[in-house]
């Protein structure tokens, strides 16, 4: 289905971005990957058969250069995956506003502005062609709450909001938008975290998230919930926000006492 298409993915030196790249390549697509980590992205590109670029997604010109490089290599981009992400915990033992201003600003740039920059570069061409697919790798934290990281929670909510906004504003232009909202996935981001081996909150493999994206693209679904239980949690939140807050506060207590995994910095 994606054979011969031109795909560009940010933050794809490893983890979920790499898994998505591999799945597209297996389907015959031509893939450009980028990452802020030059050595990692070059190694990964060679291993999987992609073209690799260094790109810091907080820099609008770097995103433009990545898009231009990807289009020179593979032709006009059909699918752009905005995947790069970082996590900063609040200061240990501190309060909800305890994260540094710098960590909030970087999170905003990486999780939100990078998608604004990429869509600013891509939308004029996609609107002309009447097609294009924009994928935002947000998080279940963008629908619910990431305990112990205010910057991650707030900026992932903004990532989901921007994905919804793109989908609504450009549906009539033929744009398809998908928003991936996983819970725990075994990648560098969760390295060192206690792994949940089974049950609804299981740590998935990155390839499971890629599979969920492909199912959602085939079914034309906006929301990609690789952990289906997130839909149940969303229902609780929508039905009764006070009950949701009470439940989340209870889970926070369990994390405090070491009964379930907490947030881990990349």
Ligand X SMILES: NC(=O)c1ccc[n+]([C@@H]2O[C@H](COP(=O)([O-])OP(=O)(O)OC[C@H]3O[C@@H](n4cnc5c(N)ncnc54)[C@H](O)[C@@H]3O)[C@@H](O)[C@H]2O)c1
**What residues contact 204, with CB distance under 8 A and at least 6 apart?**
182, 183, 184, 185, 186, 226, 227
According to CB under 6 A, which one of 52, 69, 85, 99 is a site residue for ligand X? 85
The yes or no reply on residue 36 touching ligand X (CB under 6 A) is yes
- Which CB atom, from 164 or from 173, has the smaller least distance to ligand X? 164
**What residues contact 27, with CB distance under 8 A and at least 6 apart?**
1, 2, 3
Which one from 2, 152, 184, 244 is the annotated catalytic residue? 152
Active site includes 152?
A: yes
- For residue 117, report the phi and psi dihedrals to the nearest 5 degrees: -60, -45
The yes or no reply on residue 56 touching ligand X (CB under 6 A) is yes
The half-sphere exposure of 104 on its side-chain side, counting CA atoms within 13 A, is 10
Pair 17, 10: CB distance under 8 Å:
yes
The yes or no reply on residue 188 touching ligand X (CB under 6 A) is yes
According to CB under 6 A, which one of 8, 14, 126, 151 is a site residue for ligand X? 14
The yes or no reply on residue 74 touching ligand X (CB under 6 A) is no
Instruction: Locate 5 and state its tokens.
Output: 């298409």
First to last CA, the chain: 34
Residues 231-250 that bind ligand X (CB under 6 A): none
The residues of the shown chain that bind ligand X, judged by CB under 6 A, are 10-11, 13-17, 35-37, 55-58, 83-86, 110, 137, 139, 182, 184-185, 187-190, 266
Which residues does the annotation mark as catalytic? Answer: 152
């Amino acid at each position: 289905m994606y054979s011969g298409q031109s795909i560009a993915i940010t933050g794809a030196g490893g983890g979920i971005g790499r898994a998505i790249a591999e799945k597209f390549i297996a389907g015959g697509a031509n893939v450009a990957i980028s990452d802020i980590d030059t050595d990692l992205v070059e190694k990964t590109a060679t291993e999987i058969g992609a073209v690799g670029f260094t790109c810091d997604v907080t820099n609008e010109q770097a995103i433009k250069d990545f898009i231009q490089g990807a289009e020179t290599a593979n032709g006009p981009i059909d699918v752009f995956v905005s995947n790069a992400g970082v996590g900063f915990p609040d200061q240990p033992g501190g309060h909800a506003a305890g994260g540094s201003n710098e960590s909030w600003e970087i999170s905003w740039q990486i999780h939100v502005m990078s998608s604004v920059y990429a869509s600013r570069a891509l939308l004029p061409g996609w609107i002309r062609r009447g097609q294009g697919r924009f994928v935002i790798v947000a998080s279940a934290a963008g629908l619910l709450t990431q305990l112990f990281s205010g910057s991650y929670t707030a900026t992932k909510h903004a990532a989901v909001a921007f994905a919804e906004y793109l989908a609504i504003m450009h549906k009539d232009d033929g744009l398809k938008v998908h928003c991936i909202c996983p819970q725990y996935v075994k990648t560098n981001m969760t390295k060192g975290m206690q792994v949940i081996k089974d049950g609804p909150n299981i740590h998935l493999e990155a390839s499971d998230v890629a599979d969920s994206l492909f199912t959602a693209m085939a079914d034309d679904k906006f929301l990609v919930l690789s952990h289906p239980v997130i839909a149940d949690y969303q229902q609780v939140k929508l039905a009764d926000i006070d009950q949701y807050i009470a439940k989340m506060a209870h889970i926070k207590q369990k994390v405090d006492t070491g009964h379930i995994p907490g947030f881990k910095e990349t």
